[in-house]
Amino acid sequence: MVFPDPSHAPLPLVPTPASAQRGEGRLPLTSMTRIVGEATDAPVLIDAVAGRCGIRPEITSDQPQPGDIALRIDAGVAETGGYTLSVADGVEIVGADDAGLFYGIHTLLQLLGEGEEGWGWQRAEISDAPRFSYRGVMLDVVRRFYPVSEVKTVIDRAAALKFNHLHLHLTDDQGWRLQIDSWPLLTEKASTTSAGGDAGGFYTKDDYREIVAHAASRHITIVPEIDLPGHTHAIGVAYPDLVEDPVISDALAQSQAELGQDLPVAGVPFTGWGVGHSSVRIRQERTYDFVRDVLTELSELTPGPYLHIGGDESHGTSAEDFAYFVARVSAMVQELGKTPIAWHEAGAVKDIAAGTIGQFWGSLKPTDAHAAEAAHFVERGGALILSPSDAAYLDMKYDADFPLGLAWAGLVDLRRAYDWDAAEVIDVPTEAIAGVEAPLWAETVRDLSDAEQLMYPRIAAIAEQAWTSPETPERTWESFRARLGALAPLWQADGIRFHPTAEIDWSTR
Ligand code: ACM
C-alpha cells in the first residue's frame, strides 16, 4: 500500500495503539512547553525530548496552559497498563496506573517530529491498553557478558517499545554470571570467559540490585534464569562434584567439529557453542542444597514474582532423572514464594509444580511432542509465554548472507517476525497465554552493536505482537511497514544501530 497523502498515513506508532485518530497538523513544542501534574516519570520524557531537540520542558505545579503536557492517573480510563492520550491545544495523557502513564509518554515521544515550523507533536486522539500482561525480551549474558550500563541501555529501549519484562539468562555451560555468597567459587572460577573465548564477567549483588532498580524505574520486571539441570558445565568448573562428566553425543561431536571448536572437558571452562552435554548430579542431596541456596539468594535479590529454572536441552539427563529434578525444583521455587518459569521441555514432567509457567521455544508449527509439553503447563493451572524460535528468536539470521546470528530455526526476516499470532501456536485458551518474549541468544554477539543489529528492527515486530490485539485495524504488515519506516529518525537520534532491512522504506526525517 502507498500513502501518497501523508494525512492518510497511519500514525508513526509502534506498537500500534488499540485506537488512534490522527488530528490536524502538529502542536508546537517550544521552550515554553511545560509538564504539569503526575511527574514521577517526567524525567524520562524530559531527557528524551532534550536529546532529540535540545528543549528541556520544565515541571510546574501551575494549572495547565495551552501547549503544556498534562499528566494524570485515573484508573477508569483504560485497562491495567493502558492510557488515553490527546494532542490538541495541549497534550493530556491519562494513565490507568503508573505504567499506563509511562506508556502514554512513550507514545507521545513517537509523535514528536520536526517540520518546517520546527518541532511539534502530531495531533491525535489515542486510547490504548496492552493485549498481554507479559511482554518480554531476553538477554543471554553468558555467551556474551553485558556490563550493567549496557543492560540499562537495553532496558530503556525495550521500555520505549512497551516491553515490561527482561529475562536474564544468567547461567549456562559457558559461564556463571551472578555472585552467590554461599557458593563463591561460581563467580571466582566460572565467570571469566564466554563463548568463543572472549572475556566474561559477572554481576555482583549490588550490580544486580542496580539493574533491578533501573528496570523498575522503567516499569520492567527482571526475570532471572538459572538454567538447570542441563546447561550446567560452568557449575562443574567451580564445584566438580555437582556435575556429571560431559555426555558427548554424535550430534555434539559433529557440531563442534564443524565449528572447529573443542569438545567440553569436565572442570575446564567451555567456550564452544554446542549444547546438551551437561547435567547436575540428580541423585545426590548436595545438588539440592546447592540449588536451594542459589534460588534462595536469587529470590532475596528479586522483587519480581518469577524465577526461571531453565529445563531446556537436558540431553545429558535421563527422562526419569529430569522428571524427578524438575518436580522437586519447581516445588522449591514455590516454597520460596515465587512462580517458577521453565522452558517447554519441562512440560514433559507430569508432576511439575502446579502453576508453573512454560516458555515455548519450538516452531510456529510445533511438533506434537512440543505442543503437548507446552499444553501441560496449562493443564496444571499455569500459563504460557510464547517465544517461537522461527519468529521470535532475535539471534536467527535475517537472510542467509547476514553476517551475525545462527540459522538452526530458520531465517527470520522482519515479516516473519511480524506475521504470526501468539494465540494460534499452541491449542490452549487465549487466557492461558501470559504473553510473548523475544530472546537474544549471544553465540555470535561480540558487542552491543552486534546485539542491536540482531534486535532491531525485529524487536519492534515482537513488541507489536505482545501489545496489540490482532483485531486492531492497523495491525497489518503494510501498516507496520509504514509506521516502522517513520520511526527511523527517532531510532537514529537514540543511537540505535538497527539493521536497515530492505523490507522497509526507512524515512530520513
Ligand atoms: C533454547 O533455545 N535452548 C531455549
- Name the residue of 308, 361, 390 whose CB sits within 8 Å of the most ligand 1 atoms, as the mutation to test its pocket: 361
Nearest protein CA to atom 3 of ligand 1, as residue: 312
pLDDT digits (tens, 9 = 90+) for 428-440: 999 999 999 999 9
pLDDT digits (tens, 9 = 90+) for 150-182: 999 999 999 999 999 999 999 999 999 999 999
Angle CA(345)–CA(170)–CA(373) in degrees, nearest 5? 10
- What gap in Å lies between CA 419 and CA 413, rounded to an integer? 10
Cα dihedral 428, 430, 435, 437 sign: positive
**Ligand 1 lined by 361 (C-beta under 6 Å):** yes
- What gap in Å lies between CA 120 and CA 195, rounded to an integer? 46
Q: Cα–chain-centroid distance for residue 352?
A: 25
Nearest protein CA to atom 4 of ligand 1, as residue: 312
First to last CA, the chain: 20
Measured over all CA atoms, what is the biggest interatomic distance in the chain, rounded to whole angstroms? 72
pLDDT tops 80 at residue 483? yes
* Average pLDDT of span 17-44: 96
Mean of the per-residue pLDDT values for the chain?
96
pLDDT tops 70 at residue 4? no
**Ligand 1 lined by 437 (C-beta under 6 Å):** no
Residue 269: C-alpha distances to residues 173, 234, 333 (Å): 8, 7, 28
Under a CB-based contact definition with an 8 Å cutoff, are residues 452 and 156 in contact? no
Nearest protein CA to atom 1 of ligand 1, as residue: 312
> Where would I find the beta strands (DSSP E) of 44-191?
58-60, 69-73, 83-87, 91-95, 112-115, 118-128, 134-140, 165-169, 171-172, 175-176
- What gap in Å lies between CA 158 and CA 474, rounded to an integer? 21
* Average pLDDT of span 188-201: 96
Of 92, 225, 244, 313, the catalytic one is 313
CA atoms within a 13 Å half-sphere pointing along the CA-CB vector of 251: 8
pLDDT tops 60 at residue 443? yes
All 3 cell numbers of residue 265? 572437558
Angle CA(415)–CA(417)–CA(423) in degrees, nearest 5? 115
* Average pLDDT of span 347-353: 98
Q: Within 124-276, where are the H helices?
A: 148-160, 185-190, 205-217, 233-238, 250-259
DSSP 442-453: -TT--SHHHHHH
pLDDT digits (tens, 9 = 90+) for 445-464: 999 999 999 999 999 999 99
Distance in Å, CA 55 to ligand 1 centroid: 44
- What gap in Å lies between CA 437 and CA 158, rounded to an integer? 11
What is the predicted pLDDT for the residue at 5? 55
pLDDT tops 50 at residue 31? yes
What is the predicted pLDDT for the residue at 6? 60
Where does the pLDDT of residue 7 fall: very low under 50, low under 70, confident under 90, or very high at 90 and above? Answer: low
What are the structural domains of the chain? 6-128 (3.30.379.10), 134-467 (3.20.20.80)
* Average pLDDT of span 3-20: 83
What is the predicted pLDDT for the residue at 3? 47
pLDDT tops 50 at residue 468? yes
Distance in Å, CA 131 to ligand 1 centroid: 25
Residue 128: C-alpha distances to residues 113, 125, 180, 487 (Å): 21, 10, 42, 19
**Ligand 1 lined by 393 (C-beta under 6 Å):** no
Residue 51 CB contacts under 8 Å (≥ 6 apart), including other chains = 493, 494
What is the predicted pLDDT for the residue at 277? 94
Distance in Å, CA 96 to ligand 1 centroid: 36
CB atoms within 10 A of CB 46: 18
b/e for 49-64, b at 16 or more Cβ within 10 A?
beebbeeebeeeeeeb
* 17 upstream amide cis, omega within 30 of 0: no
What whole-number percentage of the chain has pLDDT above 70? 98
For the question of residue 478 being annotated catalytic, the response is no
What pTM, to 2 d.p., does this model score?
0.97
pLDDT tops 60 at residue 427? yes
pLDDT tops 50 at residue 190? yes
Characterise 220 by phi-psi region: left (phi > 0), alpha (psi -120 to 50), beta (else): beta
- What gap in Å lies between CA 42 and CA 61, rounded to an integer? 13
- What gap in Å lies between CA 282 and CA 447, rounded to an integer? 36
pLDDT digits (tens, 9 = 90+) for 376-420: 999 999 999 999 999 999 999 999 999 999 999 999 999 999 999
**Ligand 1 lined by 313 (C-beta under 6 Å):** yes
Measured from the Cα of 343, ligand 1's closest atom is: 4
pLDDT digits (tens, 9 = 90+) for 81-108: 999 999 999 999 999 999 999 999 999 9
What is the predicted pLDDT for the residue at 2? 45
Distance in Å, CA 171 to ligand 1 centroid: 13
What whole-number percentage of the chain has pLDDT above 90? 97
- What gap in Å lies between CA 205 and CA 294, rounded to an integer? 12
